[in-house]
Amino acid sequence: MPVLRLGFRPFYLGGAAFGLLAIALWLAALHGYAGAGRAPAISGVLWHVHEMVFGFVAAIVVGFLLTAVRAWTSRETPHGAPLAALWLLWAGGRVLVWSGPPVLAAFVDTAFLPVTGLVLLRILIAARNRHNIFLPVALGLFGLLNGLFHWWALHQQPELALRAAYAAVGLAVMFVTVIAGRVIPMFTANAIPGFPIKRWKAVETLAMPVVVLTFIADALNAPAPLVAVLAGSAALIHGIRIAGWHSSRVGARPILWILHVAYAWIPLGFALLALSAFNLLSHSLAIHALTVGAIGCAIVGMITRTALGHTGRPLVAGRVETCAYALMIVAALTRVFGPWLSVSTTMLWIDIAGACWCAAFALYLAKYTRYLTTVRIDGKAG
């Protein structure tokens, strides 16, 4: 089956579909319908947070890594039946978290990320690819935080469960900073010969640690001044980093500018997080700047680009992709700044943001389902 030939195929397909469904169900729940989970331990806002972080984001990250590790090592990653088993483990977690026995849901859902991390770690070690070993290790930590979320949810400690999710958001943002830091300058230079890219060693050295430290402090509810200093430092460092990429010169190349826009949300999100430490805006709005803005835009940019490349198609974003990118940007802007500017119409802004999010992934599925479920057009493997 073509859909099981390489990891990005089933996980991009399933992740995009679930990302659409999960937000649609959350909007329904906010309007009084039974949408956000039926299990007693994880429902309402806990279900929304858990499923967007450990369900949706996890699927896309795993799909990307299963594909990237194959390219980095020239070794086979799970395909066929083993890939189907991993996908079913992920999908089983979604069903059980929705309405299954809480303990079984916790066991199945928590197993997915560590199992995948071990598979990837084994391949990287065999290939002596030490440069990327931290990625499956981070995947294992992501799984550990998922386990902590389930543990605290089962023991009716929702605040602690949410803190585990915030820490996991930090890992996801770290993943974006690492991968984007590698590929955005490379993609831009490849598309525009002679394009000026400037890097500073100190900035590159600090880019990942400052993200990790900020989210550790935030998740542990550290004193506000410490969170503000760390978040402000992260905003400054990543602002300097993207300034060296000269994003304003990318021009009318949607498949490039969506990645630059995604990264621009990182310093903005950390700046908002610094403000939220002193209650100058909601902590939720700062988190949504990093999740919908940075992670959401990065995901829609990467699942289009990598799907095109790995199915043998030209790396050109057409009208569908450009519209999906624009919708995701609008979703981020309205979700973050709408409620901040007009608290009385918060629900309207959330509805607009959710509708744009769902429309972006609906467009992706409408065009890319065929790409993901059929053989490469150039006849190559994958």
Confidence grade of residue 112 (pLDDT, cut at 50, 70, 90): very high
Question: Distance between CA atoms of 113 and 11, rounded to whole angstroms?
Answer: 13
Mean pLDDT of 302-316: 96
Q: How many CB atoms lie within 10 A of CB 54?
A: 28
Mean pLDDT of 225-241: 98
Residue in the block written with tokens 């060693």 = 201
CA atoms within 13 A on the CB side of 345: 9
Question: Which one, of 237, 248, 331, lies nearest residue 289 by Cα?
Answer: 331
* SS3 of residue 96 by DSSP: helix
Residue in the block written with tokens 């059929």 = 374
The DSSP output letter for 54 is I
Mean pLDDT of 247-272: 94
pLDDT at 38 over 80: no
Q: Are 267 and 244 within 8 A, CB to CB?
A: no
Mean pLDDT of 154-180: 96
For 48-75, the pLDDT digits (tens) are: 999 999 999 999 999 999 999 999 999 9
pLDDT at 288 over 80: yes
pLDDT at 92 over 80: yes
pLDDT at 7 over 80: yes
In the structure encoding, which two tokens stand for residue 266, read together?
A: 């990182």
pLDDT at 34 over 80: no
In the structure encoding, which two tokens stand for residue 75, read together?
A: 């070794």
Confidence grade of residue 248 (pLDDT, cut at 50, 70, 90): confident
Residues in the chain: 382
Question: Distance between CA atoms of 307 and 316, rounded to whole angstroms?
Answer: 11
In the structure encoding, which two tokens stand for residue 260, read together?
A: 């630059």
CB-count burial class (<10 Å; 0-12, 13-18, 19+) for 159: exposed
Mean pLDDT of 22-30: 95
Predicted confidence at residue 335, as pLDDT, reads: 98
Question: Which one, of 182, 106, 176, 177, lies nearest residue 144 by Cα?
Answer: 106
- DSSP-assigned letters across all residues of 117-160: HHHHHHHHHHTT-GGGTHHHHHHHHHHHHHHHHHHHHHTT-HHH
Residue ranges of the domains in the chain?
1-156, 172-376
Predicted confidence at residue 216, as pLDDT, reads: 96
- DSSP-assigned letters across all residues of 148-197: HHHHHHHTT-HHHHHHHHHHHHHHHHHHHHHHHHHHHHHHHHHHSTT---
Question: Distance between CA atoms of 174 and 208, rounded to whole angstroms?
Answer: 6
239-to-177, 179, 230, 336 alpha-carbon distances in Å? 12, 16, 14, 19
Non-local (6+) Cβ contacts of 260 within 8 A are 184, 188, 242, 245, 247, 250
The DSSP output letter for 77 is P
Predicted confidence at residue 276, as pLDDT, reads: 97
Confidence grade of residue 16 (pLDDT, cut at 50, 70, 90): very high
